[in-house]
């Protein structure tokens, strides 16, 4: 689908049908998350893909009872690194050097800059920085889903600390930031499906200079 048509077609579905999304479409969505750019290329977050109905059921009250959590096909959780360590930077630099077939020493200046950034930051600042990166990937995932004619609802409406506890995220050095419920709209029962999109007028939204 043409990108603008796809973005006009998509909306944050409030009621999904429970119909499963084929694996090849999920693969496209996950690939788009993996390909999303991040600051300095660090990708300081981890993605959890939840299909287990029991786990979804336990998440629903944490998400204020929102039904998309249980009626979606796949629930994708974007969990940012709770801090950024020297080991994680080392691993990234080693991976980058291997991928580009170059010695790690060739990335020494870049690594020093990255290390300076994370050590000048507090833990909370590193987490906030990592969290911001997840939103770019979230956006890519929604756009990719739309081009695949798959519905997706971005969700901040949940209690992160409770979700972290349920999924054991703190032990993994992670904290949940957003979720994306991926599935198919329930046309007959979604109050939002027929309502026009509300967006600011272009002449007020864009400043052309």
Ligand X SMILES: Cc1cc2nc3c(=O)[nH]c(=O)nc-3n(C[C@H](O)[C@H](O)[C@H](O)COP(=O)(O)O)c2cc1C
180 forms part of the interface with ligand X (CB under 6 A):
no
Q: Is the dihedral of CA 139, 63, 27, 25 positive or negative?
A: negative
- Count interface residues toward ligand X (CB under 6 A): 11
> Of 20, 154, 172, 173, which lies in the binding site for ligand X, with binding defined by CB under 6 A?
154
Question: Which stretch in 79-87, 95-103, 150-158, 164-172 sits in contact with ligand X by CB under 6 A?
Answer: 150-158
Rg (CA), the chain: 19
Site string for ligand X, 3-42 (x = CB under 6 A): --------xx-x----------------------------
> Of 27, 149, 156, 187, which lies in the binding site for ligand X, with binding defined by CB under 6 A?
156
CB of 150 to ligand X, least distance (A): 14
- Entry field: residues in the chain: 209
Q: Which of residues 65-104 bind ligand X (CB under 6 A)?
A: 66
CB of 127 to ligand X, least distance (A): 17
The 45-50 sheet, strands edge to edge? 45-50, 74-81, 174-183, 151-155
> Among all residues, whose Cβ is closest to ligand X?
157
- Which of 92/140 has CB closer to ligand X? 140
- Which of 93/151 has CB closer to ligand X? 151
> Of 197, 201, 205, 207, which lies in the binding site for ligand X, with binding defined by CB under 6 A?
197
Question: Which stretch in 84-92, 113-121, 126-134, 151-159 sits in contact with ligand X by CB under 6 A?
Answer: 151-159
Q: What is the largest CA-CA distance in the chain?
A: 59
- Which of 57/116 has CB closer to ligand X? 57
Give the rounded distance of the alpha carbon of 98 from its chain centre.
Answer: 26
Pick from 78, 79, 80, 73: which is nearest to 181 by CA?
Answer: 73
CA distances to 62, 117, 158, 190 from 125, in Å: 25, 10, 22, 39
- Which of 62/118 has CB closer to ligand X? 62
- Positions that interact with ligand X (CB under 6 A): 11-12, 14, 66, 153-157, 178, 197
């Amino acid at each position: 689908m043409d990108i603008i048509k796809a973005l006009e077609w998509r909306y944050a579905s409030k009621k999904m049908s429970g119909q499963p999304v084929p694996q090849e479409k999920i693969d496209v969505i996950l690939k788009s998350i993996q390909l999303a750019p991040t600051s300095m290329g660090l990708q300081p977050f981890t993605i959890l893909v939840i299909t287990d109905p029991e786990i979804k059921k336990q998440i629903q009250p944490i998400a204020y009872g929102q039904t998309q959590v249980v009626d979606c096909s796949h629930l994708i959780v974007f969990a940012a690194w709770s801090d950024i360590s020297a080991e994680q930077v080392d691993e990234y630099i080693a991976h980058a050097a291997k991928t580009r077939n170059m010695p790690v020493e060739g990335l020494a200046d870049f690594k020093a800059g990255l290390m300076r950034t994370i050590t000048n930051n507090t833990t909370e600042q590193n987490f906030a920085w990592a969290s911001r990166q997840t939103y770019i990937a979230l956006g890519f995932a929604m756009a990719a889903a739309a081009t695949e004619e798959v519905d997706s609802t971005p969700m901040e409406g949940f209690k992160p600390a409770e979700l972290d506890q349920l999924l054991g995220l703190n032990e993994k050095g992670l904290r949940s930031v957003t979720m994306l419920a991926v599935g198919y709209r329930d046309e007959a029962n979604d109050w939002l499906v027929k309502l026009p999109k509300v967006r600011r007028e272009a002449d007020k939204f864009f400043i052309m200079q």
